[in-house]
Structure 1
Protein backbone atom coordinates (compact mmCIF):
# COMPACT_ATOMS: atom_id res chain seq x y z
CA UNK A 1 0.00 0.00 0.00
CA UNK A 2 1.44 3.39 -0.99
CA UNK A 3 1.58 6.39 1.39
CA UNK A 4 -1.04 8.11 -0.76
CA UNK A 5 -3.46 5.19 -0.40
CA UNK A 6 -2.79 5.01 3.32
CA UNK A 7 -4.19 8.54 3.71
CA UNK A 8 -7.60 7.57 2.40
CA UNK A 9 -9.02 6.26 5.73
CA UNK A 10 -8.22 9.61 7.33
CA UNK A 11 -10.02 11.43 4.53
CA UNK A 12 -13.02 9.15 4.87
CA UNK A 13 -13.17 9.82 8.59
CA UNK A 14 -13.04 13.58 7.96
CA UNK A 15 -15.89 13.38 5.45
CA UNK A 16 -17.93 11.26 7.84
CA UNK A 17 -17.36 13.75 10.65
CA UNK A 18 -18.35 16.64 8.38
CA UNK A 19 -21.58 14.86 7.48
CA UNK A 20 -22.31 14.30 11.18
CA UNK A 21 -21.65 17.97 11.99
CA UNK A 22 -23.97 19.01 9.17
CA UNK A 23 -26.75 16.88 10.61
CA UNK A 24 -26.15 18.32 14.09
CA UNK A 25 -26.19 21.86 12.70
CA UNK A 26 -29.54 21.25 11.01
CA UNK A 27 -30.93 19.85 14.26
CA UNK A 28 -29.54 22.83 16.18
CA UNK A 29 -31.18 25.30 13.80
CA UNK A 30 -34.47 23.44 14.18
CA UNK A 31 -34.14 23.69 17.97
CA UNK A 32 -33.39 27.41 17.64
CA UNK A 33 -36.56 27.86 15.60
CA UNK A 34 -38.54 26.08 18.28
CA UNK A 35 -36.99 28.31 20.95
CA UNK A 36 -37.94 31.44 18.99
CA UNK A 37 -41.52 30.17 18.90
CA UNK A 38 -41.73 30.42 22.69
CA UNK A 39 -43.53 33.45 24.11
CA UNK A 40 -43.54 35.49 27.31
CA UNK A 41 -46.60 36.61 29.27
CA UNK A 42 -46.44 40.22 30.52
CA UNK A 43 -48.02 43.69 30.55
CA UNK A 44 -46.85 45.95 27.71
CA UNK A 45 -46.94 49.74 27.80
CA UNK A 46 -48.28 51.96 24.97
CA UNK A 47 -48.89 55.62 24.08
CA UNK A 48 -51.69 56.85 21.86
CA UNK A 49 -50.54 59.11 19.05
CA UNK A 50 -53.43 60.49 17.03
CA UNK A 51 -55.65 57.56 16.16
CA UNK A 52 -53.18 54.73 16.81
CA UNK A 53 -51.09 53.08 19.48
CA UNK A 54 -47.30 53.37 19.57
CA UNK A 55 -45.12 51.25 21.83
CA UNK A 56 -43.67 53.45 24.58
CA UNK A 57 -39.99 54.27 24.18
CA UNK A 58 -39.46 54.06 27.95
CA UNK A 59 -41.00 52.14 30.82
CA UNK A 60 -43.88 53.57 32.88
CA UNK A 61 -41.65 54.23 35.90
CA UNK A 62 -39.60 56.83 33.99
CA UNK A 63 -42.13 58.18 31.47
CA UNK A 64 -43.69 61.51 32.52
CA UNK A 65 -46.87 62.09 30.51
CA UNK A 66 -48.26 65.51 29.77
CA UNK A 67 -51.74 66.78 30.45
CA UNK A 68 -54.07 65.34 27.84
CA UNK A 69 -51.99 62.23 27.04
CA UNK A 70 -53.54 58.80 26.51
CA UNK A 71 -51.58 55.73 27.57
CA UNK A 72 -52.38 52.04 27.44
CA UNK A 73 -51.44 48.77 29.12
CA UNK A 74 -52.07 45.41 27.49
CA UNK A 75 -51.58 41.93 28.97
CA UNK A 76 -50.66 39.33 26.37
CA UNK A 77 -48.29 36.58 25.30
CA UNK A 78 -45.52 37.87 23.04
CA UNK A 79 -43.31 35.58 20.98
CA UNK A 80 -40.12 37.57 21.45
CA UNK A 81 -38.76 40.95 22.40
CA UNK A 82 -40.39 42.59 19.38
CA UNK A 83 -43.90 41.24 19.43
CA UNK A 84 -46.85 42.42 21.51
CA UNK A 85 -50.60 42.96 21.14
CA UNK A 86 -51.95 46.52 21.29
CA UNK A 87 -54.60 47.71 23.75
CA UNK A 88 -58.09 47.27 22.37
CA UNK A 89 -60.55 50.11 22.20
CA UNK A 90 -60.51 53.55 20.61
CA UNK A 91 -61.11 55.71 23.66
CA UNK A 92 -59.72 59.24 23.32
CA UNK A 93 -58.77 61.70 26.02
CA UNK A 94 -61.99 63.73 25.77
CA UNK A 95 -64.17 60.65 26.25
CA UNK A 96 -62.11 59.06 29.04
CA UNK A 97 -61.57 62.23 31.07
CA UNK A 98 -64.92 63.91 30.43
CA UNK A 99 -65.93 63.41 34.07
CA UNK A 100 -62.65 64.71 35.49
CA UNK A 101 -62.49 68.50 35.12
CA UNK A 102 -59.17 70.29 34.73
CA UNK A 103 -57.65 71.73 37.89
CA UNK A 104 -54.79 74.26 38.18
CA UNK A 105 -51.48 72.75 39.21
CA UNK A 106 -52.40 69.25 38.06
CA UNK A 107 -52.47 67.20 34.88
CA UNK A 108 -54.93 64.60 33.62
CA UNK A 109 -53.81 61.37 31.95
CA UNK A 110 -56.24 58.99 30.26
CA UNK A 111 -55.48 55.29 30.69
CA UNK A 112 -56.68 52.25 28.74
CA UNK A 113 -56.19 49.03 30.70
CA UNK A 114 -56.65 45.85 28.65
CA UNK A 115 -56.11 42.55 30.53
CA UNK A 116 -56.13 40.64 27.26
CA UNK A 117 -57.97 37.49 26.21
CA UNK A 118 -58.60 34.09 27.76
CA UNK A 119 -55.91 32.65 25.47
CA UNK A 120 -53.33 34.94 27.14
CA UNK A 121 -54.50 34.29 30.71
CA UNK A 122 -52.50 32.11 33.11
CA UNK A 123 -54.03 28.73 33.93
CA UNK A 124 -57.02 29.02 36.24
CA UNK A 125 -57.48 32.78 35.73
CA UNK A 126 -60.04 34.78 33.77
CA UNK A 127 -59.04 38.23 32.51
CA UNK A 128 -61.19 41.13 33.73
CA UNK A 129 -62.96 43.27 31.15
CA UNK A 130 -60.93 46.08 29.56
CA UNK A 131 -61.55 49.47 31.15
CA UNK A 132 -60.52 53.11 31.00
CA UNK A 133 -59.71 55.59 33.74
CA UNK A 134 -58.65 59.22 34.12
CA UNK A 135 -55.87 59.98 36.58
CA UNK A 136 -55.40 63.47 38.01
CA UNK A 137 -51.81 63.96 39.11
CA UNK A 138 -49.10 66.44 39.97
CA UNK A 139 -47.20 67.95 37.03
CA UNK A 140 -44.11 65.71 37.51
CA UNK A 141 -45.91 62.40 38.06
CA UNK A 142 -44.88 59.33 36.06
CA UNK A 143 -47.06 56.92 34.13
CA UNK A 144 -46.53 54.34 36.89
CA UNK A 145 -47.94 56.83 39.40
CA UNK A 146 -50.89 57.49 37.11
CA UNK A 147 -51.58 53.76 36.92
CA UNK A 148 -51.24 53.37 40.69
CA UNK A 149 -53.78 56.16 41.21
CA UNK A 150 -56.54 54.29 39.37
CA UNK A 151 -55.69 50.57 39.25
CA UNK A 152 -54.28 49.33 42.56
CA UNK A 153 -52.96 46.91 43.60
CA UNK A 154 -49.94 46.83 41.29
CA UNK A 155 -47.28 44.14 41.51
CA UNK A 156 -43.66 44.40 40.34
CA UNK A 157 -40.80 41.92 40.36
CA UNK A 158 -37.27 42.52 41.69
CA UNK A 159 -36.24 43.97 38.29
CA UNK A 160 -39.08 46.55 38.31
CA UNK A 161 -41.01 44.65 35.64
CA UNK A 162 -44.74 45.34 35.92
CA UNK A 163 -46.35 41.98 36.80
CA UNK A 164 -49.95 42.75 37.73
CA UNK A 165 -52.47 45.59 37.39
CA UNK A 166 -55.48 45.69 39.75
CA UNK A 167 -54.33 42.32 41.05
CA UNK A 168 -54.34 40.60 37.64
CA UNK A 169 -52.81 38.14 37.21
CA UNK A 170 -52.55 36.77 40.74
CA UNK A 171 -49.10 35.25 40.15
CA UNK A 172 -46.37 34.97 37.57
CA UNK A 173 -44.30 37.63 35.85
CA UNK A 174 -42.87 37.46 32.33
CA UNK A 175 -42.88 33.66 32.39
CA UNK A 176 -42.14 31.69 29.24
CA UNK A 177 -45.13 29.96 27.63
CA UNK A 178 -45.85 28.25 24.29
CA UNK A 179 -46.42 30.82 21.55
CA UNK A 180 -50.00 31.46 20.46
CA UNK A 181 -49.51 33.99 17.66
CA UNK A 182 -48.55 33.22 14.05
CA UNK A 183 -45.17 34.38 12.82
CA UNK A 184 -45.16 37.76 11.10
CA UNK A 185 -47.66 39.40 13.45
CA UNK A 186 -47.39 42.95 14.81
CA UNK A 187 -44.06 43.62 16.52
CA UNK A 188 -42.86 45.85 19.33
CA UNK A 189 -40.25 45.78 22.09
CA UNK A 190 -40.92 44.74 25.70
CA UNK A 191 -42.79 46.98 28.09
CA UNK A 192 -39.64 48.19 29.85
CA UNK A 193 -35.89 47.75 29.84
CA UNK A 194 -36.34 45.27 32.67
CA UNK A 195 -38.59 43.13 30.49
CA UNK A 196 -35.99 43.18 27.76
CA UNK A 197 -33.26 42.04 30.14
CA UNK A 198 -35.22 39.37 31.98
CA UNK A 199 -36.93 37.61 29.10
CA UNK A 200 -37.22 38.27 25.35
CA UNK A 201 -34.33 40.68 24.88
CA UNK A 202 -31.30 38.49 25.64
CA UNK A 203 -29.96 36.02 23.09
CA UNK A 204 -27.29 33.34 23.25
CA UNK A 205 -25.71 31.47 20.34
CA UNK A 206 -27.90 28.58 19.22
CA UNK A 207 -26.62 25.02 19.00
CA UNK A 208 -26.82 25.30 15.22
CA UNK A 209 -24.54 28.33 15.19
CA UNK A 210 -21.97 26.69 17.45
CA UNK A 211 -21.97 23.46 15.46
CA UNK A 212 -21.86 25.41 12.21
CA UNK A 213 -18.76 27.26 13.34
CA UNK A 214 -17.17 23.92 14.21
CA UNK A 215 -18.04 22.57 10.78
CA UNK A 216 -16.43 25.57 9.06
CA UNK A 217 -13.26 25.08 11.12
CA UNK A 218 -13.17 21.40 10.25
CA UNK A 219 -13.62 22.21 6.57
CA UNK A 220 -10.50 24.35 6.83
CA UNK A 221 -8.60 21.43 8.34
CA UNK A 222 -9.84 19.17 5.55
CA UNK A 223 -8.72 21.68 2.90
CA UNK A 224 -5.21 21.78 4.40
CA UNK A 225 -5.10 18.00 4.50
CA UNK A 226 -6.18 17.77 0.84
CA UNK A 227 -3.52 20.27 -0.21
CA UNK A 228 -0.78 18.33 1.57
CA UNK A 229 -2.08 15.10 0.08
CA UNK A 230 -1.75 16.54 -3.46
CA UNK A 231 1.87 17.57 -2.76
CA UNK A 232 2.81 14.06 -1.59
Structure 2
Protein backbone atom coordinates (compact mmCIF):
# COMPACT_ATOMS: atom_id res chain seq x y z
CA UNK A 1 0.00 0.00 0.00
CA UNK A 2 1.42 3.40 -1.03
CA UNK A 3 1.46 6.18 1.53
CA UNK A 4 -0.31 9.18 0.03
CA UNK A 5 0.63 11.75 2.61
CA UNK A 6 3.55 12.34 4.96
CA UNK A 7 1.63 14.76 7.21
CA UNK A 8 0.99 12.15 9.96
CA UNK A 9 4.78 11.63 10.22
CA UNK A 10 5.81 15.25 9.96
CA UNK A 11 3.58 16.35 12.80
CA UNK A 12 5.17 14.07 15.47
CA UNK A 13 8.67 14.87 14.18
CA UNK A 14 8.03 18.61 14.32
CA UNK A 15 6.59 18.23 17.80
CA UNK A 16 9.68 16.27 18.90
CA UNK A 17 12.05 18.94 17.59
CA UNK A 18 10.04 21.65 19.31
CA UNK A 19 10.29 19.80 22.64
CA UNK A 20 14.06 19.30 22.20
CA UNK A 21 14.63 22.96 21.40
CA UNK A 22 12.54 24.00 24.38
CA UNK A 23 14.52 21.68 26.66
CA UNK A 24 17.79 23.16 25.36
CA UNK A 25 16.52 26.65 26.08
CA UNK A 26 15.59 25.71 29.63
CA UNK A 27 19.03 24.22 30.24
CA UNK A 28 20.80 27.26 28.84
CA UNK A 29 18.60 29.52 30.93
CA UNK A 30 19.45 27.51 34.02
CA UNK A 31 23.14 27.89 33.26
CA UNK A 32 22.81 31.65 32.94
CA UNK A 33 20.79 31.88 36.16
CA UNK A 34 23.64 30.19 38.05
CA UNK A 35 26.09 32.94 37.09
CA UNK A 36 27.30 34.70 40.21
CA UNK A 37 29.81 37.27 41.31
CA UNK A 38 31.84 38.17 44.38
CA UNK A 39 31.63 41.38 46.38
CA UNK A 40 35.13 42.55 47.22
CA UNK A 41 37.80 45.25 47.07
CA UNK A 42 40.00 44.80 43.99
CA UNK A 43 43.55 46.16 43.85
CA UNK A 44 44.89 48.11 40.86
CA UNK A 45 48.18 49.61 39.68
CA UNK A 46 48.74 52.44 37.23
CA UNK A 47 49.94 51.49 33.77
CA UNK A 48 50.83 54.91 32.50
CA UNK A 49 47.57 56.84 32.81
CA UNK A 50 45.33 53.74 32.79
CA UNK A 51 44.61 50.98 35.31
CA UNK A 52 45.90 47.40 35.34
CA UNK A 53 44.65 44.69 37.70
CA UNK A 54 47.38 43.97 40.25
CA UNK A 55 48.95 40.52 40.11
CA UNK A 56 49.92 40.55 43.80
CA UNK A 57 48.11 41.59 46.95
CA UNK A 58 48.84 45.00 48.53
CA UNK A 59 50.70 43.46 51.46
CA UNK A 60 53.28 42.02 49.03
CA UNK A 61 53.77 45.04 46.75
CA UNK A 62 56.33 47.68 47.72
CA UNK A 63 55.65 50.59 45.38
CA UNK A 64 58.25 53.09 44.26
CA UNK A 65 58.01 56.78 44.93
CA UNK A 66 55.60 58.33 42.41
CA UNK A 67 53.44 55.20 42.07
CA UNK A 68 49.66 55.40 41.65
CA UNK A 69 47.48 52.59 43.00
CA UNK A 70 43.73 52.07 43.22
CA UNK A 71 41.17 50.13 45.21
CA UNK A 72 37.67 49.49 43.85
CA UNK A 73 34.75 47.88 45.68
CA UNK A 74 32.31 46.11 43.36
CA UNK A 75 30.60 42.85 42.48
CA UNK A 76 32.46 40.93 39.78
CA UNK A 77 32.89 37.34 38.65
CA UNK A 78 36.70 37.51 38.40
CA UNK A 79 39.51 39.86 37.40
CA UNK A 80 38.39 39.83 33.76
CA UNK A 81 35.01 41.19 34.89
CA UNK A 82 36.23 43.62 37.54
CA UNK A 83 35.46 47.35 37.45
CA UNK A 84 38.38 49.79 37.41
CA UNK A 85 38.57 52.73 39.82
CA UNK A 86 36.51 55.62 38.42
CA UNK A 87 39.26 58.22 38.70
CA UNK A 88 42.30 58.94 36.59
CA UNK A 89 45.62 57.44 37.69
CA UNK A 90 47.29 60.86 37.88
CA UNK A 91 50.10 61.11 40.44
CA UNK A 92 50.71 64.81 39.80
CA UNK A 93 47.12 65.77 40.54
CA UNK A 94 46.67 63.50 43.57
CA UNK A 95 49.96 64.42 45.29
CA UNK A 96 50.08 68.07 44.21
CA UNK A 97 49.61 69.30 47.80
CA UNK A 98 52.05 66.83 49.35
CA UNK A 99 55.63 68.00 48.76
CA UNK A 100 58.44 65.45 48.56
CA UNK A 101 60.34 64.83 51.79
CA UNK A 102 63.71 63.21 52.41
CA UNK A 103 63.58 59.70 53.83
CA UNK A 104 60.03 59.10 52.59
CA UNK A 105 58.19 58.18 49.40
CA UNK A 106 54.83 59.31 48.08
CA UNK A 107 52.19 56.89 46.81
CA UNK A 108 49.04 58.26 45.20
CA UNK A 109 45.92 56.28 46.07
CA UNK A 110 42.44 56.19 44.54
CA UNK A 111 39.86 54.69 46.89
CA UNK A 112 36.60 53.95 45.07
CA UNK A 113 33.86 52.35 47.21
CA UNK A 114 31.75 51.71 44.11
CA UNK A 115 28.06 52.22 43.50
CA UNK A 116 24.90 51.61 45.51
CA UNK A 117 24.14 48.65 43.23
CA UNK A 118 27.25 46.86 44.51
CA UNK A 119 26.78 47.79 48.18
CA UNK A 120 25.77 45.17 50.75
CA UNK A 121 22.17 45.30 51.91
CA UNK A 122 21.55 48.19 54.28
CA UNK A 123 24.81 49.99 53.49
CA UNK A 124 25.57 53.08 51.43
CA UNK A 125 28.99 53.46 49.82
CA UNK A 126 30.99 56.51 50.89
CA UNK A 127 32.22 58.93 48.26
CA UNK A 128 35.20 58.16 46.04
CA UNK A 129 38.32 59.87 47.30
CA UNK A 130 42.03 60.20 46.59
CA UNK A 131 44.92 60.45 49.01
CA UNK A 132 48.67 60.91 48.87
CA UNK A 133 50.37 58.57 51.32
CA UNK A 134 53.82 59.64 52.51
CA UNK A 135 55.49 56.59 54.00
CA UNK A 136 58.86 54.95 54.61
CA UNK A 137 60.82 53.95 51.47
CA UNK A 138 60.31 50.23 52.14
CA UNK A 139 56.59 50.47 53.00
CA UNK A 140 54.13 48.12 51.28
CA UNK A 141 50.98 49.20 49.48
CA UNK A 142 48.97 47.94 52.45
CA UNK A 143 50.98 50.18 54.78
CA UNK A 144 50.50 53.14 52.46
CA UNK A 145 46.75 52.49 52.44
CA UNK A 146 46.64 52.12 56.23
CA UNK A 147 48.31 55.51 56.66
CA UNK A 148 45.39 57.30 54.99
CA UNK A 149 42.34 55.02 55.16
CA UNK A 150 41.98 53.34 58.55
CA UNK A 151 40.35 51.22 59.79
CA UNK A 152 41.23 48.35 57.45
CA UNK A 153 39.86 44.84 57.84
CA UNK A 154 41.45 41.69 56.42
CA UNK A 155 40.53 38.02 56.35
CA UNK A 156 42.80 35.11 57.27
CA UNK A 157 44.26 35.00 53.73
CA UNK A 158 45.28 38.69 53.85
CA UNK A 159 42.50 39.74 51.48
CA UNK A 160 41.21 43.27 52.13
CA UNK A 161 37.65 43.10 53.46
CA UNK A 162 37.04 46.75 54.38
CA UNK A 163 38.68 50.12 53.78
CA UNK A 164 37.86 53.00 56.14
CA UNK A 165 35.34 50.65 57.74
CA UNK A 166 33.43 49.95 54.51
CA UNK A 167 31.70 47.60 54.27
CA UNK A 168 30.85 46.87 57.89
CA UNK A 169 30.77 43.11 57.37
CA UNK A 170 31.40 40.44 54.77
CA UNK A 171 34.49 39.62 52.75
CA UNK A 172 34.49 38.41 49.17
CA UNK A 173 31.11 36.73 49.60
CA UNK A 174 29.38 35.19 46.61
CA UNK A 175 26.28 36.98 45.42
CA UNK A 176 23.73 36.17 42.73
CA UNK A 177 23.54 38.20 39.56
CA UNK A 178 24.26 38.20 35.85
CA UNK A 179 27.60 39.97 36.08
CA UNK A 180 26.48 42.90 33.88
CA UNK A 181 28.02 46.22 34.81
CA UNK A 182 25.85 49.31 34.91
CA UNK A 183 28.38 52.13 35.32
CA UNK A 184 30.12 51.80 31.97
CA UNK A 185 33.51 50.84 33.41
CA UNK A 186 36.02 49.33 31.00
CA UNK A 187 36.92 45.77 31.95
CA UNK A 188 40.46 44.37 32.13
CA UNK A 189 41.67 41.10 30.67
CA UNK A 190 44.39 40.29 33.17
CA UNK A 191 44.33 36.90 34.92
CA UNK A 192 42.92 36.72 38.42
CA UNK A 193 45.56 37.35 41.10
CA UNK A 194 45.77 35.32 44.30
CA UNK A 195 44.03 38.06 46.25
CA UNK A 196 40.79 37.78 44.25
CA UNK A 197 37.95 35.49 45.37
CA UNK A 198 38.18 32.12 43.71
CA UNK A 199 35.24 30.45 42.02
CA UNK A 200 34.25 27.07 43.45
CA UNK A 201 32.61 25.39 40.47
CA UNK A 202 35.82 23.97 39.05
CA UNK A 203 34.97 25.22 35.59
CA UNK A 204 37.71 27.83 35.41
CA UNK A 205 35.24 30.57 34.49
CA UNK A 206 33.14 33.06 36.37
CA UNK A 207 29.77 32.14 34.88
CA UNK A 208 27.79 30.91 31.89
CA UNK A 209 26.98 27.35 30.85
CA UNK A 210 29.49 24.75 32.03
CA UNK A 211 31.13 22.20 29.75
CA UNK A 212 28.89 19.48 31.20
CA UNK A 213 25.77 21.49 30.46
CA UNK A 214 26.80 22.08 26.85
CA UNK A 215 27.60 18.40 26.39
CA UNK A 216 24.15 17.53 27.73
CA UNK A 217 22.49 19.91 25.27
CA UNK A 218 24.53 18.42 22.44
CA UNK A 219 23.42 14.92 23.41
CA UNK A 220 19.77 15.98 23.41
CA UNK A 221 20.07 17.51 19.94
CA UNK A 222 21.87 14.43 18.58
CA UNK A 223 19.07 12.21 19.87
CA UNK A 224 16.57 14.47 18.14
CA UNK A 225 18.44 14.25 14.83
CA UNK A 226 18.60 10.46 15.12
CA UNK A 227 14.85 10.31 15.72
CA UNK A 228 14.19 12.44 12.63
CA UNK A 229 16.41 10.24 10.46
CA UNK A 230 14.76 7.07 11.74
CA UNK A 231 11.32 8.49 11.01
CA UNK A 232 12.34 9.30 7.44
CA UNK A 233 13.68 5.79 6.85
CA UNK A 234 10.30 4.34 7.87
CA UNK A 235 8.44 6.27 5.20
Once residues 215 and 158 of structure 1 are traced to their aligned partners in structure 2, the CA distance between those partners, rounded to angstroms, is 45
Trace 1:86-101 onto structure 2 (pairs within 5 A).
86-90=84-88, 92-97=90-95, 98-101=97-100
Does 2:181 correspond to 1:181?
A: yes
Trace 1:155-170 onto structure 2 (pairs within 5 A).
155-170=153-168
Once residues 207 and 26 of structure 1 are traced to their aligned partners in structure 2, the CA distance between those partners, rounded to angstroms, is 15
| TM-score normalised by structure 2 residue count | 0.71
Once residues 64 and 50 of structure 1 are traced to their aligned partners in structure 2, the CA distance between those partners, rounded to angstroms, is 18
Once residues 62 and 206 of structure 1 are traced to their aligned partners in structure 2, the CA distance between those partners, rounded to angstroms, is 35
Tell me which stretches of 4 or more aligned residues in structure 1 moved more than 3 Å: 16-26, 189-192, 198-207, 212-222
Once residues 101 and 81 of structure 1 are traced to their aligned partners in structure 2, the CA distance between those partners, rounded to angstroms, is 34
Trace 1:25-174 onto structure 2 (pairs within 5 A).
25-36=24-35, 38-90=36-88, 92-97=90-95, 98-104=97-103, 106-174=104-172
CA contact (8 A) 1:110 1:134 kept: yes
1:210 is displaced (CA, Å) by: 4.5
Q: Specify which structure has the higher proportion of helix.
A: 1
CA contact (8 A) 1:28 1:206 kept: no
1:165 is displaced (CA, Å) by: 0.4
* Deviation sequence 1:146-198 (CA, Å, 0-9, x none): 1122211111223332211011000112231434526x963236874232425
CA contact (8 A) 1:70 1:110 kept: yes
Going from structure 1 to structure 2, the CA distance change for 1:201 and 1:69 (only over 3 Å counts) comes to farther
Once residues 164 and 193 of structure 1 are traced to their aligned partners in structure 2, the CA distance between those partners, rounded to angstroms, is 18
Give the alignment's Cα RMSD to 1 decimal.
3.7
Once residues 186 and 71 of structure 1 are traced to their aligned partners in structure 2, the CA distance between those partners, rounded to angstroms, is 17
1:22 is displaced (CA, Å) by: 6.0
1:214 is displaced (CA, Å) by: 4.5
CA contact (8 A) 2:80 2:192 kept: no
Going from structure 1 to structure 2, the CA distance change for 1:50 and 1:195 (only over 3 Å counts) comes to closer
Structure 2: state its 5+ residue gaps: 1-14
